[in-house]
Structure 1
Amino acid sequence: MDQNRSGRNTLVRLRLLKMLLITTGMMACVDEVQLPIRQVQPRLVVEGMITDEAPPYAIKLTYSGQFTSRSHLPENLVVNGAIVTLRDDRGRTVRLEQDPLTPAYYWMRDTTFRGQPGRTYTLSVRLPDGTVYVSTPEYMPTVPDIERMYARYVPAPNEGLQPPHFRIQLDTKDPDTVGNYYRWSAYAYLPRWATGDPYGCCTTCWVPDYGLLSDVQSDALINGNRISGRVVYDIPVRAIGMQYIDVRQYSLTRTAYQYWTLFGQQVSRTGSLFDPQTASIEGNVHRVEDAGTLALGYFGASAVSHQRLVVSSADTIDVPKFVFRYDKLFRLPGSCLQIYPQAQLTPPPTW
C-alpha cells in the first residue's frame, strides 16, 4: 500500500511539473505591448459668457495641455496679447482688457454695454500670431425668476463618518413656450474649524465651496409647468456656523444646453485609459479661415435670475453630538488661513 501511495504522489508531482513548464512557455511567448501615449496638439480654449447682469464680463482664454494642479495654470497655456472683442446684433463692438495679474482672463468693463434678453452677441479673438477665431452669433433667451429658494436638512447616516448636509432647492415656473433650457450654478461660504496657530489665532474661518457647472435641464417633459423642489446644491456640514449660499439660474440656447450636457457627462466619468482627454468638447467658436477648426469651450449669452440664502446650522443640528462625532475629524491642525488658502476670517460682508 505504501508503494502505491508513493507512486501516486510521484505521478501528481510529475503532472504539476508538466503544467508549470507549459505555463512558463506560454508566458515566454507573450511579447510586451507598448501602448501609444495620446499626444494632442494644443488648441484654443474659450470660456465665458455675457449676461443681463451689470458688467464686468470675463472671457478666459487658454490653450489645452497638461495641468499640474487645478489652482496653477502653466504660463505656456495662457493666451497672452490676444485682441478680444464683443459685438451685438446692432453693430456695436467693445474691446476686452487683459487682466495684468491673471492674464488668462479678459474683461469687458464698459457699463454702457449690458446684455439684453432677445439680443444676439458674437465674440471675436485675434491671437498674437494673427489667427482669428469667432463665435457663432449667440442669442440670449429670457429666464423665469427663481420664486423661492430653501434648504432641507439631510441627517448623517448612522454608520461611517459621512457628515450631514443641507440640500438647496428652488421653485420656478417654466413658460408655456416650447424649447426652454436651464443651467444652475451655486457657490457658498462655509464655516471650517482649525486648532489655531501658536498665538491662538484663526480657529474659525469661512471657505468658498462650489457646486456643479453643468447642472442643466430641458423643458421637454415639463413645458409650461412648475419646477418645484429642484435640487441645485448639496452642502456638507463640517463645522457649525452660518452657511452663505449663492445660486444663479441661467437661460440657455439649445446649442448651449447640448454643450453643457456633454460637459457634465465628461466630468462624471470615472476616468479610464480610453476616456477622451479633459476639455475635449468643441463649442461654438471656430477659426475664420477654416470653419471646421473649432476651439474648445463655449461662449454663451444668458439671462440670469439670482438669489442668496443664509442657513444657520446651529438652529438645526445637535451641536454637542456633532462636536463629539466630527470635531477630531474636521478640526485640522494649524491656522485656518494656512490650511485653506481661499479662507477669510469673517463671513462675506455683503450677503
Structure 2
Amino acid sequence: MRKKSKKVSVNLCVISVYLCVIALSACVDEVQLPIRQAKPRLVVDGLITDEAPPYPIKLTLSGAYSSGGGFPEELIINGAVVTITDNNDRTVQLEQDLLQPSYYWVREPSFQGKAGHRYTLKVVLPDGMVYVSNPELLAPVAPIEKVNAEYRRQNSIFGQPDLYGIFIDTRDPATLGDYYRWSTYSYVPRWTNVDPMHSACSVCSCWVPYFSELTNVLSDALINGNRISHRLVFNSPVYAIGKQYVEVRQYSLTRSAYQYWAHFEEQRSRTGSLFDPQPASIEGNVHQQADTTVLALGYFGASAVSKQRLIIPGDTIQYDKFLNRLNKAFIPPGSCPGNFPLSQLGPPTNW
C-alpha cells in the first residue's frame, strides 16, 4: 500500500512541475529588440613596403555584406583623392582601380618604401571630408633563415584534411622593440570528378591557392636578441597528392601596428561564450584631419619584407593508402574551374 501511494505522489509531483512550466511559458512575452543601425565609417586596409610597387590601399565604408552576394556598391568609395607622403615631403597620388573600385594603387615605380622613413596616408572623400594617418615608420626586418614543412596526419573521422605544417627560423636583432607579422600562401593540388590515376580529364586536376590568417604576430619582449626557431606560420591542407608551392613573407611592424593586429586576433579567436566581451570595431591609426577623436577602422601600415619560397615534393605519400583512408572525400564532382574559382590548371610558374 505504501508503495502505491508513493508512486501516486511522485506522479503528482511530475504533473505539478509540468503544469508550472506551461504556466511560466504562457507568461513570457516576446521581446522585439531594436536592431542597431551604426553610421557607416571609413575602413582603410593597406600598407607600403620596401618591395617595388605597386601597393594597394583598400577603401570602403563599414556595413553589412555577404561574401556570396558580392561587395555592395553603396559601400564602395568612388572618386576619393588618395596620397601617400614620406618624411622628405615626397608625395605620390594613388590611382583608383577601374575593375575593383575599392582599391587605390601606388603605381609610381620610383616611390618605393625605404627602411627608416615614415609614411603618411591622406584620403579626401568625395564629400570633402579629410582623413589622415599617423606617420608610420618603416622599420627593418630580420631575414628569414629557413623554411621547412612537416607532414601532420589528421583524424579523417572528422573530415579534416592532412596538413603540412610550415615553419620558419629567423634571428631577432639585439635591439629591443622589434615586432613581426607573418603572411603565407600555398598552391595546393586539387582533384575533381575522379582522381587523375583513373581519368584523362584535362580540367579535373588543378592548383588552388590557400592563405594564412593575417594575425600571426610576435613581439620580441621575451626573446630579444635570440633565435626564433620552428615558428609555425601556416598549415597547408593536403587534399590530393602532388607538389605544393609555398611562400612565406615576414613583415616588420611598429608597436601600434602590432597592438592593432594582436587585438584583431583576440577578437577573431574568441570562443563566443557568455562571459566574452562583445566584439567592438577595431580602430587603427587613421583619423579625421579636423577632429582627431573621429577614427576610421582598419590600419595603414609600413613594413619591410623578407620572403622565402618552398616546394614540397609530396612524393612520400602513398597513392592508394591516401585514397582509401579518405574515401575520396575531397574529390567533388564537376570541373576544377567550376569548384574552385581561383584555381589554375597548371602549377605556378617561375617558382
Give the TM-score normalised by the residue count of structure 2.
0.92
Partner of 1:203: 204
Task: State the 1:25 CA deviation.
Answer: 3.2
Instruction: Give the whole-Å Cα distance in 2 for the aligned partners of 1:329 and 1:73.
Output: 32
- Name the aligned partner's letter for residue 294 of structure 2: T
| SS of alignment partner, residue 111 of structure 1 | coil
Partners of 2:114 and 2:259 in 1: how far apart?
22
User: What is the CA–CA distance in structure 2 between the aligned matches of 1:347 and 1:262, rounded to whole Å?
Assistant: 36
In 2, Cα distance between equivalents of 1:158 and 1:350: 34
1:296 and 1:156 map into 2 onto residues whose CA distance is 38
Match of 1:48 in 2: 46
Question: Counterpart of 2:67 in 1: which secondary structure?
Answer: coil
Identity of aligned residues (%): 54
Aligned partner (choices 142, 148, 152) of residue 146 of structure 2: 148
What amino acid is aligned across from residue 129 of structure 2 in structure 1?
A: T
Q: Check 1:31–1:201 CA distance in 2 against 1; reply closer, same or farther (3 A cut).
A: same
The residue correspondences of 1:96-111 to structure 2 (distance < 5 A) are: 96-111=94-109
Name the CA shift for 1:12/1:311 in 2 (closer, same or farther; >3 Å): closer
The change in CA–CA distance for 1:33 and 1:71 in structure 2 (over 3 A counts) is closer
- 1:307 paired residue number: 308
Deviation at 1:349, TM superposition (A): 0.9
The equivalent of 2:334 in structure 1 is 334
Paired position in structure 1 for 2:88: 90
User: Structure 1: any 5+ residue segments left out of the alignment?
Assistant: none
Decide whether aligned partners of structure 1 residues 76 and 277 sit closer, same or farther in structure 2, where only a CA change above 3 A counts. farther
Find the counterpart in structure 1 of residue 130 from structure 2. Answer: 132
1:65 corresponds to 2:66: no
Q: Is the 8 A contact 1:238 1:326 kept in 2?
A: no
- 1:224 equivalent to 2:222? Answer no
Q: 1:19–1:327: structure 2 CA closer, same or farther, 3 Å change rule?
A: closer
TM-score, normalised on structure 1?
0.92
State the alpha-carbon separation in 1 of the partners of residues 8 and 267 from structure 2.
Answer: 59
What's 1:168 paired with? 166
Partner secondary structure for residue 104 of structure 2: strand
Q: Residues 158 and 49 of structure 1: is their aligned pair in 2 closer, same or farther, counting only changes over 3 Å?
A: closer
Q: Compared with structure 1, are the counterparts of its residues 16 and 174 closer, same or farther at alpha carbon in structure 2 (3 Å cutoff)? A: closer
Structure 2 unmatched ranges of 5 or more: none
Find the aligned partners of 1:240 and 1:290 in 2 and give their Cα distance.
56
Letter in 1 for 2:213: L
1:174-219 deviation line (CA, Å, top 9, x unaligned): 00000000000001111000117x9933110000100110100000
Q: Is the 8 A contact 2:264 2:282 kept in 1?
A: yes
Equivalent residues of 1:167, 1:234 under 8 A apart? yes
CA distance, structure 2, for counterparts of residue 13 and residue 145 of structure 1? 75
Structure 2: distance between partners of 1:5 and 1:264:
62
Please tell me whether the aligned partners of residues 267 and 279 of structure 2 are also in contact (alpha carbons under 8 angstroms): no
Between the aligned partners of 2:288 and 2:349, the Cα distance in structure 1 is 44
Count residues with an aligned counterpart: 346
Name the residue aligned to 2:113.
115
Alignment correspondent of 1:345: 345
Contact 1:205 1:336 in 2 (8 A): yes
CA RMSD for the aligned pairs? 2.3
Cα distance in 2 for residues equivalent to 1:98 and 1:332: 38
Higher mean C-alpha deviation, range 210-219 or range 38-47: 38-47
Whichever residue aligns with residue 216 of structure 1, its letter is V
CA distance in 2, matches of 1:265, 1:243: 30
CA contact (8 A) 2:137 2:302 kept: yes
Q: Quick one: distance in 2 between partners of 1:71 and 1:233? A: 29
